Amino acid sequence: MRLVLGLWLAFAPVAVSAQAQPEDETHRVDRQQTQDLNRSVQRSVAQRQAADAGKLARYRDANAAYERQRDEWRRRVAACERGDTSACDPY
């Protein structure tokens, strides 16, 4: 008997809350405002990402140029250490 009562008490709130409740005007307005705010934030994020895309591309280009210059410098240092005196001259 206790088991049946315990199971009923455990599942009764689920059964009651599972019933569809009509949406009142206050809830509908609140839901609409939340959706509007979410759309507004999504637009803001998309605009910021678009603006940052150019900055990110410039950073990647500058970083790639730096890496190429660093690799060239390392190649010249290695050549200088091997005895190639022409590689020892500064740029």
pTM as predicted: 0.46
Q: How many CB atoms are located within 10 Å of the residue 76 CB?
A: 17
Q: What is the pLDDT of residue 15?
A: 55
Identify the pLDDT of residue 4: 60
- Output the tens digit of pLDDT for each of the chain's 91 residues: 666 666 666 666 655 555 667 888 899 999 999 999 999 999 999 999 998 998 999 999 999 999 999 999 999 999 999 999 898 987 5
**Whole-angstrom distance, CA of residue 88 vs CA of residue 60:** 29
At residue 21, the pLDDT reads: 76
Q: How many Cβ atoms sit within 10 Å of the Cβ of residue 2?
A: 6
